[in-house]
Amino acid sequence: MEVIFFGTPEFAVPTLQRLIDQPNIKVIGVVTQPDKRRGRGSQLIPSAIKKLAFKHDIPVWQPKKIKKHQDTLYALKNAQADAFIVVAYGQILSPEILAMPKLGCINVHGSILPKYRGAAPIQWCLYHGEAETGITTMLMDEGMDTGAMLLKAYTPIDLLDNAHQIAEKLAEQGADLLIETLGKLEQSKINPIPQNDSEATYASLIKKEDYLINWSRSAREIHNQIRGFYPNCVTPFRDGFVKIMATFPLIEAYYSQLPDDLKALINLTNIHYNTAQNPGEVVSIIKNFGPVIQTGEGFLLLREVQRSGKRPQLGQDFVNGSHLLIGESLGVSIINN
């Protein structure tokens, strides 16, 4: 089977590698986003997929707008590939491109469709506190993740999982599911299932304002925001901002999910909380663990933070380094939809 791979970020790398490793599959080309300028020197940096393709001497196309780039369209059509594989490519494919391969364009999507269609399914899935996610392979159509579903694979979400950790799991799971999907498609052992649009939810692009923590929300909601949008959530602190990287909602129902390094919290029955009720205030500092913050509902332990220009640090180190005091505020109450 000859395939052309469309993908850009690290999430797509395991699938491309798995395709390259298959003796009965040949990757005859890769389409990825143009190199981007990054860092202080503003150097052009290739995508993770381009690096892997070059390592294996696979031809690469990098059109700025694939729907209008005639040279790329001509090359794709003349390749006469059996399938186009699409994993987090970053551009919408035109009907002309979708019609080119014999078996169709197959997308590896990081959610259990029809839930979380769109650009950031992993992040919004965590934000909404889902207990399970997974991978769906589908035949692409002109809509945004609306094509007929082929196969699904599921994975549980733990209370402390963040977006990077779930993405790593799903990237490997997606690679396995794609290989299974191609084999069954070639043998006509899959009946594509149309999606039920009435059950669809959407995972839109994340905006800068989504990263700002509103301490008036509940401890569980803030915890989900922080792990869903990891590592970018921020709150005002003194004369600047601080990133909140990891938390734990101090709710008894969640104590059974404590990791080993936090299990001692179960025995700390004499924790004293300040009587202040202002969301965002430091109400306690638990020795060897870190600061506890008042939220709109419940308390949130800060496990890891990052101050501007500094490396990430544990909650207790943040307390020591900043001389944090009970009664200080880690932000203001804001309106957040």
Match 């109400």 to its residue by tokens.
283
114 is in an annotated binding site: yes
- Residue 47 in marked binding region: no
Determine if residue 112 is labeled as part of a ligand binding site: yes
Which phi and psi angles does 83 have, rounded to 5°? -155, 150
CA neighbor of 72 nearest in space, from 55, 91, 57, 49 = 91
SS3 115: coil
Q: Residues 107, 112, 114, CA angle at the centre, nearest 5°? A: 80
**Tokens 């299974």 found at:** 180
**Residue position matching structure tokens 């001497």:** 57
DSSP secondary structure of 161-174: --HHHHHHHHHHHH
- Polymer length in residues for the chain: 337
End-to-end CA distance of the chain: 48
**Angle, helix 13-21 to helix 163-186, in steps of 10 degrees:** 30
Q: Are 316 and 287 within 8 A, CB to CB?
A: yes
| Per-residue three-class SS string for 221-244 | HHHHHHHHCCCCCEEEECCEEEEE
DSSP string, 305-318: EEETTS--EEHHHH
User: What is the amino acid identity at position 248?
Assistant: F
Binding residues for (6S)-5,6,7,8-tetrahydrofolate: 111-114
> Which residues belong to the annotated binding site?
111-114
